[in-house]
Amino acid sequence: MYLIDSLCPSGGMGGHGFTIHLSPEFRDAVKSSGIGQPQVDHVLKNYGDEWASKCGLLHRYDPNRRRLSHRFVSSGTIPSDEASCHHGITIRWGEWGPEHITVPGNACGLDIDSCPSVYRGGRILLPHNVDHWGQVNLLLIVFCWFAHSVALQNSVNDE
């Protein structure tokens, strides 16, 4: 149903990207799972900060959106360049499931595209600005959690 491919870091900025190929069967499983944007948002609200923290990313962004104010700097938290960029995990759920996944960083994420996939009629999630292993880990955690949820929901629906 999906294939994670091209995970071979180059060490440069954006050099930790990878692709995820989605089969038409994955799209069909998403449709029959009954999972939608409200369920996705609920999961992210409950687990997103913990996932980011476990990947070493929670301290790299500004969860209270204080940016670089004196209050923020004096709190002892050292903001990275990402502090003025994206602040958390977002997913835009669509026909193919997690069609856009964004994690803390400078526009870091995976986005759906119709370029050639290993699956006939499939789609591919392409990387953007994946700069380090923490972002790789978080993107994989998020995608795999929802892919597993789709599979579980379908197995429950089949019973």
| pLDDT at res. 74 | 43
Q: What is the pLDDT of residue 83?
A: 46
- The DSSP secondary structure of 30-64, one letter per residue, reads HHHH---HHHHHHHHHHHHHHHHHHTT-GGGS-TT
Task: Round to whole Å and give the CA distance between 27 and 49.
Answer: 28
Cβ contact 109:70 at 8 Å = no
| Residue 57: pLDDT band with limits 50, 70, 90 | confident
Nearest CA-CA partner of 108 in 138, 130, 125, 87: 130
Of 15 and 157, the structure prediction assigns the larger pLDDT to: 15
Integer angstrom CA distances of residue 14 from 55, 106, 107: 17, 10, 10
Domain ranges of the chain: 17-158
Specify the range with the lowest mean pLDDT, choosing from 6-20, 59-73, 91-105: 59-73
> Residue 61 and residue 135: Cα distance in Å, rounded?
12
Report phi then psi at 114, rounded to 5: -100, 15
Average pLDDT of the chain is 85
Structural contact between residues 124 and 117, judged by C-beta atoms closer than 8 angstroms: yes
